[in-house]
Structure 1
Amino acid sequence: MILHSYWRSGAAYRVRIALNLKGLTYDQQGHDLRTGAQKDAAYVALNPQGMVPALQVDGAVLTQSPAILEWLEETHPEPPLMPSSPVGRAHVRAMAALIACDIHPLNNLRVGKALRDMFGADQAAVDAWAARWITPGFTALETLVAQHGADWSFGDTPTLADCCVIPQIYSARRFNVPLDAFPRLLAIDERAAAHPAFATAHPDRQPDAD
Structure 2
Amino acid sequence: MRLHGYYRSSTSYRLRCALELKGLEYENCPVNLLESAQKDEAFTSRNPFGSVPMLETDSGDLAQSMAIIEWLDEAYPDRPLLPSDTGDRYVARELAYAIATELHAPLNLPVLKYLKSEYGQSQEQIGEWYRHWLARTLDPLETRLEQRDTGDFLFDAPGFFETVLLPQMYNARRFDFDFTDHPRMVRVEQACLALEPFRRAHPDNQPDNPEKATR
What is the TM-score with the length of structure 2 in the denominator?
A: 0.94
> Which residue of 2 is the match for residue 178 of structure 1?
178
Amino acid at match of 2:97: A
Aligned length: 209
3-state DSSP class of the match of 1:46?
A: coil
Unaligned runs of 5+ in 2: 211-215
Q: Aligned to 2:103, what secondary structure does the other structure show? A: helix
Q: In the alignment, what sits opposite 1:35?
A: 35
Contact kept? 2:17, 2:198, Cα under 8 Å? yes
What is the 5 A alignment of 1:62-141? Answer: 62-141=62-141
Counterpart of 1:151, as a letter, is D
Cα deviation, 1:23-43, whole Å, max 9, x if unaligned, reads: 011001111111111111111
Q: CA deviation at 1:136?
A: 2.1
* Structure 1 position 56, deviation (Å): 0.6
Which whole-Å deviations, capped at 9, do the CAs of 1:3-24 have from their partners, x for residues lacking one?
Answer: 0101100000000000000001
1:45 maps to 45
Counterpart residue number, 2:213: none
Contact 2:151 2:188 (C-alpha < 8 Å) held by counterparts:
no
Q: After superposition, what is the alpha-carbon deviation per residue over 1:57-95, rounded to whole angstroms, capped at 9, x for unaligned?
A: 004011000100100111112212111111111111111
Identity of aligned residues (%): 40
Residues of 1 paired with 2:162 and 2:182: CA distance?
Answer: 15
RMSD: 1.0
The aligned amino acid for 2:26 is Y
Any unmatched runs of 5+ in structure 1?
A: none
How many angstroms apart in 1 are the aligned matches of 2:120 and 2:178?
Answer: 24
Deviation of the 1:147 alpha carbon: 2.9
